[in-house]
């Protein structure tokens, strides 16, 4: 059974802090994704990675960066957290069949 | 760039068939259509995927007309446990980045 885990379910940070969200998958998937989910807006792609050290911008990359040093791990970094980055963050992974497996999400609150 | 549009909400009763339609007028040649189900406090879960015509699996069917500008997720004989938000996703990440477009989701409420 595919498992995608995220480092925290809930996180509270202050404005200006650097925030790291970590995601780990155990299925040797090539592709990994970071989304944010907001009421009324659905899921929006922030970044994705199709290989180690490779990354592509999604629809809303501003204010975020990512790191993929190992195949199983994909990190989302908020360089300087702002209140408008308060959201649910979802990580996903997929192999070659386009089917994405999602983690449980991290609800981030920036105060 | 494909934009997906879905109804915001739908109501149904147990045992009925539910059809949820997604519009994606600007779908690209390489794009697939995928549907996900999401329960509260969980990540979305894959339901079904297709490229054209009809696809059926053990939980749903997906109908895609020849012009591929829309798709319909069909859930046969829904139960209370099918109450969830359903998302349509159009895209293929084998293209250059940023081409995965989720719809805003359809909140399905199944009543007894």
Say if residue B100's pLDDT is above 90. no
The string of pLDDT tens digits covering residues A64-88 is 999 999 999 999 999 999 999 999 9
Give the residue carrying structure tokens 């995220």.
Answer: A6
Quote the minimal CA–CA distance from B90 to chain A in Å. Answer: 11
Q: What is the percentage of chain B residues whose pLDDT exceeds 90?
A: 75
Q: Write the CB contacts of B10 (distance below 8 Å, at least 6 apart in sequence).
A: B18, B20, B106, B107, B108, B109
Rounded-to-integer distance, Cα B65 and Cα A105, Å? 34
Number of domains in chain B: 1
CA pair distance A71, B105, nearest whole angstrom: 30
Q: Band of the pLDDT at B1, cuts 50, 70, 90?
A: low
Residue B57 CA to chain centroid, in angstroms?
A: 14
Domain residue limits at B47: 9-111
What's the CATH number where B35 sits?
2.60.40.10
Question: Taking CB atoms and an 8 Å limit, are B49 and A98 in contact across chains?
Answer: yes
Q: Which of A2, A5, A29, A45 to mutate to test the interface with B (most CBs of B within 10 A)?
A: A45
Burial class, A13, CB count within 10 angstroms (exposed 0-12 / middle 13-18 / buried 19+): middle
DSSP B88: E
Rounded CA separation B68/B85 (Å): 23
User: Do A89 and A70 form a contact (C-beta atoms < 8 A)?
Assistant: no
pLDDT band at B93; cut points 50, 70, 90: low
Q: B80: helix, coil or strand?
A: helix
Q: Is B105 on the interface with A (CB under 8 A)?
A: yes
Interface contact A58-B45, CB threshold 8 A: no
Residue at B4 is within a domain: no
A40 CB neighbours in chain B (<8 A) are: 104
From B91's Cα to the closest Cα of chain A, the distance in A is 9
Is B57's pLDDT higher than 60? yes
Collect all residues of chain A within an 8 Å Cβ-Cβ radius of residue B45. 102
Do B103 and B19 contact (CB within 8 A), yes or no? no
Q: What is the mean pLDDT of chain A?
A: 93
Chain A partners of B44 at a C-beta cutoff of 8 Å? 43, 90, 100, 102
Query: How far, in whole angstroms, is CA A23 from its chain's centroid?
Result: 7
The alpha-carbon gap from A79 to the nearest alpha carbon of chain B, in Å, equals: 21
Measured distance CA(A33)–CA(A48) in Å, rounded: 4
Choice among A28-32, A45-49, A53-57, A93-97 with the minimum mean pLDDT: A93-97
Which domains are assigned to chain A?
4-110 (2.60.40.10)
């Amino acid at each position: 059974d595919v498992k995608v885990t995220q480092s925290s379910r809930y996180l509270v940070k202050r404005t200006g802090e650097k925030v790291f969200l970590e995601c780990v998958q155990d299925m040797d998937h090539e592709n990994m994704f970071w989304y944010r989910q907001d009421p009324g807006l659905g899921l929006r792609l922030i970044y994705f990675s199709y290989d180690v050290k490779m990354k592509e911008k999604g629809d809303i990359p501003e204010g975020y960066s990512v790191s993929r040093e190992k195949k199983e791990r994909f990190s989302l970094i908020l360089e300087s957290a702002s209140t408008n980055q308060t959201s649910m963050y979802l990580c996903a992974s997929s192999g070659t069949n386009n089917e994405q497996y999602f983690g449980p999400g991290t609800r981030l609150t920036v105060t | 760039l494909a934009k997906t549009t879905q109804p915001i909400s739908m109501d149904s009763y147990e045992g009925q068939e539910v059809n949820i339609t997604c519009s994606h007028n600007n779908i690209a040649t390489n794009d697939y259509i995928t549907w996900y189900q999401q329960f509260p406090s969980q990540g979305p879960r894959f339901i079904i995927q297709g490229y054209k015509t009809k696809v059926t699996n053990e939980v749903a069917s997906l109908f895609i007309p020849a012009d591929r500008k829309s798709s319909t997720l069909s859930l046969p004989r829904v139960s209370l446990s099918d109450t969830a938000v359903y998302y349509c996703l159009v895209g293929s990440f084998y293209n250059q980045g940023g081409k995965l477009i989720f719809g805003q989701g359809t909140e399905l409420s199944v009543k007894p």
